[in-house]
Structure 1
Amino acid sequence: MTGLFQSQTFPATLPDHTQLPESDGTFVKNFQEHPQSVLLTDSIEPILKQIHPDDQYCIGQDSGIYWRLTQPLERGVLAPDWFYVPFVPPTLKGQLRRSYVLWQEYVAPLIVLEFVSGNGAAERDRTPGTGKFWVYEQGIRVPFYGIYEVAKAAVEVYHLIENSYHRLEANDRGHYFIPQLGAELGIWQGHYSNTELPWLRWWDAQGNLLLTGAERAEIELQRANTETNRANTETNRANAEAQRAEKLAAQLRALGIEPEE
């Protein structure tokens, strides 16, 4: 892996996620970033459960990826807004992950997503050794890298081919297909977390929006209410028929005719 260790003296035993700083002291850039990460995770998890019935995967949300050993340690870490790593345990030795350490796990994330809050220069920085674009492409070698700009209602996705990123073309739905997930990434204009925005979301391979747990629950509630209303309508209709039949029987009896005859 390119530049994993710099030419410095380090202890014989390399630090793990419990010994490395879990924060570089920076703040989340805006209030939209947290619900955006939750939206991505919540909606893709049913797909990940199908891919990983053994639960061997992890998702990072504004969590550090230590990709090279440096002094100070914080110079060798990037904290993507969202990333997914397949075929690794969600915890290590019974402990929650504080960061993702490449020299401890060796498996690179399949996809990394950055949410632009400025002009996008940092997310497209190709400066060797420090620029985010360069690190994801040449340092960590992430197969898919997405840059999401809520202000432009746009996302661009890059695919690592022969050691360099190539920008993908959107399909006829305006989405980007990630084959290993069997899912598409794109922009959805809608209301989520009490805010109307062009959100970054997942669709399945047929173009069906992948719903959050709350959205699925709302649909189930609407379906249950519809069934209840239908059952109530049928009950009311049956009661009306019974009342009509009883009224007719009473009229026949008044004429001296038994209804059974």
Structure 2
Amino acid sequence: MLFNKPPSPTRPRRGAGHEPRPRPAGPRPNGPDTPLMEPAALDRALRHAAWRDPRVERKKFTEVYSAVRTLERTAAYVDQALERLAEVAEALRIGQTTEHDLMRGLQAARIEEVLDSLDRLSKIAADGKLNLLHGESESLYLDFGHEAFRYVLPPFDLRRGPKGLDIPHLKDGFENSSDVQAVSQAVRLAHVRVSQFAARLSHDAGMLVRMAKTYEADISVETEEGASHTPVD
């Protein structure tokens, strides 16, 4: 009878303060509806990571480290895209302020050359791996912890066309002022969008580095504990 006695209803089984918290309503942190991982979401992910298995820790450390490298590689190409958009903005300024037809023609050609190079950047960003600058590629995602917490980064389309940055061509050079204004406005908007994506890459890389350090620390502790239990001959 003593072993079959049910627990007292007034006495918590796991102690006060250990009851699981209810999951908040709404989309999961850092899901498709949330562009950045907030500090509270990161804390939850780290708590989930505390449910540990050494083999899982090593696997997750490798996955997170690989994701950080992907973000860093992507950020390098994004920086190049920002530089080229800045070149286009300067060429537009020069072309609209100069009176020399030859100079205006050279600036128009330069604008088209630089904008077309964005398509090449979006292709070579893959480097044989996941390409986050081609809108038709797969998203980068990682699952953390036993509650299937997922980090997702959808691809950004760096191409010049309508599916990407949507920057029109200067069909008549600087002869058509409405075309020039359309290109100028599209370049300004593209610079804002690419800058926002660059900021997210920086934010998420920092967050994943923190996550990788958590896994790495757990692996180190597990390795030290295993060594301390190794019998000495």
TM-score range, shorter chain: under 0.3
Quick check: which one's strand share is greater? 1
Q: TM-score w.r.t. structure 2 length? A: 0.25
Relative contact order: is structure 1 or structure 2 higher (C-alpha 8 Å, sep ≥ 6)?
2
Tell me the TM-score normalised to structure 1 length: 0.22
